[in-house]
Structure 1
Amino acid sequence: MHGMLAWDDLRYFLAVDRHGTHAAAGRALRVAPTTIGRRLAALEAAVGVRLLRRTPEGLVPTEAGLRLRTHAERVEAEVLASERELTGADQRVAGPVRITSGDGLAAYVLVPRLVELRERHPDLVVELRAELRVLDLSRREADVSLRMSRPREPALLARRLCDVPFRVYGSAAYLARRGRPSAVRELGRHDWVRPDATLAGTPQEAWLDKHVPQAHTVLRASNSTTLLAACAAGHGLAVLPELFAPHDSRLESLLPRATGLPVRELWAVTHPDLRHNARVGAVLAWLAAVFPRPR
């Protein structure tokens, strides 16, 4: 080994190991791919061995890389634990706070109401990450995560915010063109806008598979915002959350008494090390005001 290992270099190595490419690692760490490549080259020069090799599936660790990964993950755990402990003791409602949620929730509910939070705490800097994957709170990928199901990780702190009923929606233009269904049995005659594989297996998709097994799908979308936009543009019917579908005035709710439409739960989740953090506390108090109490 020719020099001291720097934590930043280990962080870049772990990001490439987890994401497979310089570009994906750069997106995760919010740095340029060229920076990732440069720091990895410096790390390999420091240890004197090759740590990653290129394959058709992306960059994977060599034998030396696998050994380094074990040590790097231990260093990461200690660094992140220290950050959480120090951040958790911070009593200032100032500086950055990371919130993550699905794209539809972020666009139609959180962003319009963020004005209230910022007016109350003008020194708070909100980092809002709208993505489908569940972020790792132990790695500080987010401080507060909004999830549409109760978290499975028993160590996390979770607060149920509200119920999220789903309804069948269609645009006024589509209904004028194709007619308004009056019963579930008529839904098979209509075009449908549905999620792609990224949202397969969700309760709303399970309901549609059960009650409209021959649904004529005309468009699939990878996120809720695009799904809602496609339905509102008149491409077809869609099963959407009542929480944010009404924000587009072109959409009309159909079949309010339809059997078994899912009702999901919205949860606010944070790491226990942040339970006394003033920024996280301010966000949780704001969220409690944004969403109605569970029935």
Structure 2
Amino acid sequence: MPQESTVMDWDKLRIFHAVADAGSLTHAGDVLHLSQSAVSRQIRALEDSLGTTLFHRHARGLILTEQGELLFEATSSMVRKLDTTAARIRDSEESVFGELKVTTTTGFGTMWLVPRLAKLYDRYPDLKIDLMLEERVLDLPMREADVAIRMKEPNQQDLIRRRLLNIRMRLYATPEYLAKAGMPQTLEDLGPHRLICQNPQTPQVSSGAVLSQMLLGRNISSTLMVNNYFGVLQGVLNHVGIGVLPDYLSADFPSLTRVLPDIQSGEVPVFLAFPEELRASRRVAAFRDFVLEEIQSLRRQQTEEQVTDPSAK
């Protein structure tokens, strides 16, 4: 069969290289843990398949023919490439490179993760990230992605998971919008304002949908509905109205003003998960550690906000 022939050809080339390097069937056999006669048979078979003589045989040993020199040059290049690859595999225990497929929600990916990735690339410039932003939960065990950051605990089997933080959906607006439209003091005061949120029927975390549904039931006079939180954020930043947004944004957008501090959604857990088989992957470990560092920084900022502004709690 063709596959069997390919394996045998490589085996013959490996033996040829050892013989050419050692200059002796006996010495090559010692390196390869083969008998001299087995090595000799393989060399004869290779010469027969190529239709040429690869060695001049002398009493003092073997000398490569012109054709043998050409083949030895080729096998030497192959060996160098294999050695380099083996070294890179070993070195990957200290370095990080190659492709990493990451999936998370559109909101978290665009508003929190992507703005921080420059730090990760500074640390690992050879990393190639394929970031898939969607609400659909990709199948990690089937390797649709290597790492997932989801707004609920993954229920797939054979996953390593870590809870990153809990978030809540809250109300935010710009000082410019509030200066023009006024600061609401109660839920009833929201009526004349424009509410920016996701339609409760669109895919999103259930706590956010519940909060939006409750607010929409307050006889809001004007609304802007966007099918992801990035769009909601853009509306808020451009003074369109009061938006329902995740609280982790307060660290990156300190100019936003929290509206009705007593109104917020229930807690939404955020998990990082990856397949058990990738436990030893340096790429996965590097990404996980980076995200954990950034989450710790976020927590410190949120703690500082709570100390300086008790209404932010």
| TM-score between the two structures when normalised by the length of structure 2 | 0.59
Helix, strand or coil: the match of 1:199? coil
Equivalent residue pairs, number: 206
From 241, 244, 256, the counterpart of 1:239: 244
Q: 1:277 offset after TM fit, Å?
A: 1.3
Contact (CA 8 Å) 2:169, 2:207: kept in 1 or not? no
The structure that has the greater radius of gyration is 2
Q: 1:211 offset after TM fit, Å?
A: 5.3
- The corresponding residue for 2:180 is 177
Amino acid at match of 1:229: Q
Helix, strand or coil: the match of 2:209? helix
What CA RMSD, in Å, does the superposition of the two structures yield over aligned residues?
2.6
2:299 maps to 1:278: no
Change (3 A) 1:134 1:245: farther
- The corresponding residue for 1:134 is 137
Contact (CA 8 Å) 2:171, 2:258: kept in 1 or not? yes
Contact (CA 8 Å) 1:164, 1:264: kept in 2 or not? yes
Deviation digits for residues 214-263 of structure 1, max 9, x if unmatched?
A: 342521111111111112222221211111255346632112233x5322
Segments of 5+ residues of structure 2 without an aligned counterpart are 1-88, 304-313
Q: 1:115 offset after TM fit, Å?
A: 2.2
2:281 maps to 1:288: no
Segments of 5+ residues of structure 1 without an aligned counterpart are 1-86
Deviation digits for residues 58-93 of structure 1, max 9, x if unmatched?
A: xxxxxxxxxxxxxxxxxxxxxxxxxxxxx9xx8562
Contact (CA 8 Å) 1:103, 1:130: kept in 2 or not? yes
- The corresponding residue for 1:107 is 110
- The corresponding residue for 1:219 is 224
Helix, strand or coil: the match of 2:161? strand
Deviation digits for residues 270-290 of structure 1, max 9, x if unmatched?
A: 111111211111111111101
Helix, strand or coil: the match of 2:183? coil
Q: 1:96 offset after TM fit, Å?
A: 0.3
Contact (CA 8 Å) 1:161, 1:292: kept in 2 or not? no
State the structure with bigger RCO (CA 8 A, min sep 6), 1 or 2. Answer: 1
Helix, strand or coil: the match of 2:202? helix
Contact (CA 8 Å) 2:174, 2:256: kept in 1 or not? yes
Distance 1:145 1:200 in 2: 16
Distance 2:96 2:160 in 1: 20
Q: Once the two structures are aligned, what percentage of the paired residues are identical? A: 29
Deviation digits for residues 184-235 of structure 1, max 9, x if unmatched?
A: 3322342211213323672122023235523425211111111111122222
Deviates more, 1:240-249 or 1:128-137: 240-249
Distance 1:210 1:250 in 2: 26
After TM superposition, the structure 1 = structure 2 runs for residues 74-223 of structure 1, keeping only pairs within 5 Å, are: 91=93, 93-196=96-199, 197-199=201-203, 202-210=206-214, 213-216=217-220, 217-223=222-228
